[in-house]
Amino acid sequence: MSLRRLALVGLAAGIVLIPTRVLAQDSPPPPRSTFWGFVALGIGGARDSTFYAAGVGAAWQRRSLVLMGRIASVGPEKENRMEDLGLLAGVGTQRGRFHYLAAAGLGVARNRQDSTALALPIEAQATWRFSGFAGIGLRGFLSLNKVSSFGGLTIMAEVGRLR
């Protein structure tokens, strides 16, 4: 009879202590959101012409989800300039000195003659984040639209909470 009681007490103690041990284990803190702004300048084109390309934007990342708003443009002068304003969503790497992202979304493209069209902006970035608040990298972008599709490859600078 005492062996049976000892087994029941041991079982009850195990039931009580095992969840306590599981709850006491540390879980890693949730990853911090990162956010940054960027400016970019490089080469771009529309149809058969090559121009300079420029861009400016801001992005926010939580885990691998990236949300971005950006303006991309190509053109040598005001008369031939094409630009789009887009909101994009995509995926990006987490942590580390090197950051990669790919995103697509919806936007509005226009030229200087005020022709506008719905656009499908696509963007990819590869950045070396040499500190927690600054980085440099390459940015490729496309704007697919009915007015005049265009794209470019730029060098960009990022500033924000990067890691």
Q: Using one digit for the tens of pLDDT, what is the confidence trace for 5-44? A: 666 666 565 565 555 555 545 666 667 899 999 999 999 9
- Residue 16 is predicted with a pLDDT of 56
Higher pLDDT, 57 or 113: 57
CATH of domain 34-161: 2.40.160.20
71-114 pLDDT, tens digit per residue, is: 999 987 666 788 999 999 999 998 889 999 999 999 999 987 87
- Is the pLDDT at 48 greater than 70? The verdict is no
Asked which of 20-34, 50-64, 136-150 is least confident by mean pLDDT, the reply is 20-34
- Residue 157 is predicted with a pLDDT of 98
Concatenating the DSSP letter of every residue in the chain gives: -HHHHHHHHHHHHHHHHHHHHHHHS--PPPPPPEEEEEEEEEEEEETTEEEEEEEEEEEEEETTEEEEEEEEEE-SSGGG-EEEEEEEEEEE--SSSEEEEEEEEEEEEEETT--EEEEEEEEEEEEE--SSSEEEEEEEEEEEESS--EEEEEEEEEEEE--
Q: CB under 8 Å to 76, separation ≥6 — which residues?
A: 51, 52
Q: What mean pLDDT comes out for the span 53-61?
A: 96
- Residue 24 is predicted with a pLDDT of 47
- How much is the pTM? 0.77
- Is the pLDDT at 46 greater than 90? The verdict is no
Q: Where are the domains of the chain?
A: 34-161
